[in-house]
Structures are given as structure tokens and as C-alpha cells.
Structure 1
Amino acid sequence: MSGGFTGLGVGPGPEGLLPVAALRALQAADVIYAPRSRVSDSSVALDALRGLDFPRDRVREVEFLMDGDDRRIGEHYAALAREIAARGRAGEQVVYLTIGDAMTYSTLGYLVAALRAEAPDLPTRVLPGVTSYATAAALTGFSLGEGKERVLILPCPDDLDDLRADLLGHDLTVLMKVGRRLPGVLALLDELGIAQHCALAHRLGLDGEVVLPSLGGAGSGGGVPDAAKLGYLSVLLIRRQPPQRFKENK
């Protein structure tokens, strides 16, 4: 094939975090797929590219689907893979945008798998992006692991007892896909007495951004405004113990 496919992680939202290689791919693309939720007026992934110079007339918004129905998800991305494969056979360079990192809890994984099944001869590459949790850690001064600390990256479980076991079994937990569970999670952190050395980031670089370096008092509602609404596009950085700094032996 003379065409090809590139999946791009566009970062969590702040302008300027897109890798140089990703910007070059955008500028060379014949078509750029920008996923957009049914309930959103714009593509969050496209919003993350504000201020960058690339051919916006080549952008095509497509539905972002992640409703928990594996059959519908599979059909959706199989149909999109067929469309992209046809463009690749016609010699087009196709780019697909995804928020955050390209392959960390990303729908891009479904599309890449569907493309490999539909068109194994299509040149396909994925360019990683900056993760939301790395950005949140940098903004809050939260160290994502010191020495031999164990770090767990976890989609928030529905059962808070399961989450309790996960938190107590690891030194640090990066909690993603929190959603409506956020008030219960905050109450659990408060109950465990660890909220003060945990951090939260919401809609990084986008309208309505909230960055909280500490969640002290979160369980009572004092630390997090509108907790019921902040779970979406949010990441929690959770420490089981206060950070331990290494001291030189004397």
C-alpha cells in the first residue's frame, strides 16, 4: 500500500505537549479522524490541539463509542477499520486522534486490532502521547515512585471494597476512569487517613480544569468542589503512606 495509518496520543489537553513526530504526522495527513462523544459539542482530542498549525479542513469527526457493550464496540471499530483500510488502499495517509496516551486505556487499541484483522498489509504505527497522570504528577509535584515503591495503574472498580484492597496492597495507585464513583472514592481516602497526600486533576488544559495537590478533607466535601461532576476526565494520584525521601547514610 502507498497509504498508511498513524494513531496519535494528543496528550491530556494542555497545548504544547504533542510530540514533534506527532505534529509532523498531522501536517502530512490526508484525513484526520477526531473522535467525539455523542453528548459533547466538540472533540476533546481536537480541543487538545488548539494553537497548532495543521490542515484542519482535513479533520473528520467520528463517534467515540465506549458504552460497555463489547459487541457494539467491536462492530463500530470494525466498520471504521474498513473505511480507513479503503483510504489506505487509495494511497491516503490517515491519522486518528486519541486523548492522553495512545495505548493506555485508550479506544485506539480496539481500532488498531480491527485494522490488523481487516488490512494486515496496511502500514500502521502508533505514536505515544503524554499521559494524564504524568501531567498531573508534574503539576502537583507528586512523585510517581521512589526507590522500589510499587505503582498500580487502575480503572476505578465499582466495588469500593475491591478498591480498598488495591490501595492497601500498593505504595501508589493511579486511579483512572473514576466517573460517578468519585464521591465514594474520596470518602474512602478520608476514611483511610491518606487523603492529605493524594492529588486530583480534572480536564487538564481544557475548560473547567481543576488541579488539587492535596485532598485533605475531601470526604466531608471540603476539599473537592462538585465532586459528583469531577469524576469524568479525571485522574487520582494516591499514596498509601507519606512520601519517603532517601537520606544519605552518615
Structure 2
Amino acid sequence: MSALGHFVGVGVGPGPAGLIPVAALAALQDAERIYLPRARGSETSVARQCLAGLPIPEAKFCEIEFQMDPDRSVLSEHYGELADAIAGELRQGRNVAYLTIGDSMTYSTYGYLLAALRDKVPGLRHTTFPGVTSFAATASALSWPLGEGKERILILPCPDDMAALRTDIESHDIVVLMKIGARLPAVLQLLNALGIAGHCAFARRIGLPGEVLCENVSRLDSSASGYLATMLIRSTAREKRHA
């Protein structure tokens, strides 16, 4: 019987090609198979775009349709099936990698897959490489310091209840807002009502077609939201810390 292959999870991007740790690139070059997500209805995988130009043979890639369904049972079935496919390759001694956008363990579907694999493959050999989070990429793209001194930062998926979001904003120095989607118009209305939109920032699809970079969301079109969007909210104007 073959020794178990090694499973690795790698965060790539978000955005420009090349945002990947050197050690993670070496692991991808060592893998026999690389699974990567492709959003339902999309012709290409964003994760694959993030690896453009890197020395990885195309034959290694295996695109899988990315499925995020609010029904937990559907999600469980989807990641269970994917784990079965990967487990089969690992049992044959192959090294397998899975790509995810951003950081591997921050609001990532990789966590679902890893949990399923650990249940299905006793003695699973695995390594998880960290990646660049969407909010770190947004802060860098807009030269927007993400926390200075003792500022408190809250990271959360956008709530449906704007009253709850208002409470979160008023009780923290900075709020990182993810998974905004169709709530963007309501969020912008709240920020304008609070009088803080001028020092809040927004980014979508950094370094990719359809990129939106906005350092003052009072000027942001409310239709700008979508996949791979992040907002950085500052409850008060940035303090001047230099003489």
C-alpha cells in the first residue's frame, strides 16, 4: 500500500499574480494535482489568474465549480464529495494542493474541506500556508493604515441589520466589512448618515478586470459591490501622528 500523499492548502491573491509565499509556491510545484475553485457561471478561476506567469505546469490544475449555498446540508454534501476525490488521490500516494482566494483560514471555504478530509483520512498529512487577506490587500492598495497605536479593529461579515452595524462601528475604531453584496446601498446610507463616509475605503477585485478602488466612499457608486469586495470603516478621522 502506498504511503499517504501530503495535502496542502494555499491562499493566493487576492488580485495581482504573485501574492503567494515562496514556501507555498514550492509546495505547489511539488504537488501532482492542484484543485482550485471556479465561481459558478464564471469561465475562468480567479485563483488561477492569481498564479499567472508562475512556473507551474497547466496539467496539474483541476478546476472545480465553487458552490456557496445558504443550505448547510448542500454545503456539507459538496465538500464531502470534494474531500472524497482528494482522499482517493492521497491514498494513492499523490501530493495534492487546494487553492483558495486570500488567507487560507480567514472566512475561507478551505476550512470546510480540511475538516472533511481530517474525518475521512486518518493520519492525514497536511500543511496550511497563510495568504494575503482581502482587507490587507485593500489597505495596501489604498495606502490605508489598518490600525495604528491601540486602535481596536473588528472584522465581520456585513449584517442585514444596519442598526447592529451602527453599534459595531460606534464601539470600535475600525471595522473591516466583508461579504457586503447587495447590502452596499444600505451601508453607504448609514456611513453618510454617521458623517464618516469620507474616511472609509472600499475595494473590489484588486488587480483583476473590473477593479474598483475608492478611498472615500462618499463618492462610491452603490452598484459597485459584488464578489471579492471589502470595506474599511474608520469611526473617526485618522489622527495625525507626525509633527
**Aligned residue in 2 for 1:244:** 239
What is the distance in 2 between the residues matched to 1:169 and 1:122? 42
SS in 2 for 1:106: coil
Is the CA contact 2:11–2:130 (under 8 Å) kept in the aligned structure 1?
yes
| CA distances 1:52-95 after superposition (whole Å, capped 9, x unpaired) | 11011111111211111111111111111111111111010101
Q: Secondary structure at the match of 1:120?
A: coil
Root-mean-square deviation over aligned CA pairs = 1.3
Does the Cα contact within 8 Å between 1:180 and 1:229 map onto a contact in 2?
no
Cα deviation for residue 228 of structure 1 reads: 2.3
Query: What is the DSSP-based 3-state SS (H/G/I as helix, E as strand, rest coil) of the residue aligned with 2:191?
Result: helix
Q: Distance in 2 between matches of 1:185 and 1:120?
A: 45
Q: Which residue of 1 aligns with 2:208?
A: 206
**Gaps in structure 2 of 5+ consecutive residues:** none
Secondary structure of the residue aligned to 1:158 is: coil
Q: Is the 8 A contact 1:180 1:232 kept in 2?
A: no
Q: Which runs of 4+ in 1 moved over 3 A?
A: 245-248
The Cα of 1:174 is off from its aligned counterpart by 0.5
**Is 1:228 equivalent to 2:223 in the alignment?**
yes
Deviation at 1:231, TM superposition (A): 3.4
What aligned pairs does 1:42-61 form with structure 2 within 5 A after superposition? 42-61=44-63
How far 1:33 sits from its partner (Å)? Answer: 0.4
Check the 8 A contact 2:19/2:50 in 1, yes or no.
Answer: no
Match of 2:80, SS state, is helix
Q: Of the candidates 144, 147, 150, which is equivalent to residue 149 of structure 2?
A: 147
Find the counterpart in structure 1 of residue 109 from structure 2. 107
Shift of 1:21: 1.0
> Deviation per CA, 1:178-229, whole angstroms, max 9, x where unpaired?
01111111111111100110111110111011111122xx3xxxx123x224
> How many angstroms does 1:247 deviate by?
5.9
Describe how 1:104-183 pairs up with structure 2 within 5 A.
104-183=106-185
Q: Secondary structure at the match of 2:90?
A: helix
Amino acid at match of 1:115: L
Number of matched pairs: 241
Secondary structure of the 1:91 match is: coil
* Partner Cα separation in structure 1 for residue 224 and residue 195 of structure 2: 23
1:93 to 92, 95, 111: 95
Q: Percent identity, aligned pairs only?
A: 53
Q: Distance in 2 between matches of 1:231 and 1:194?
A: 22
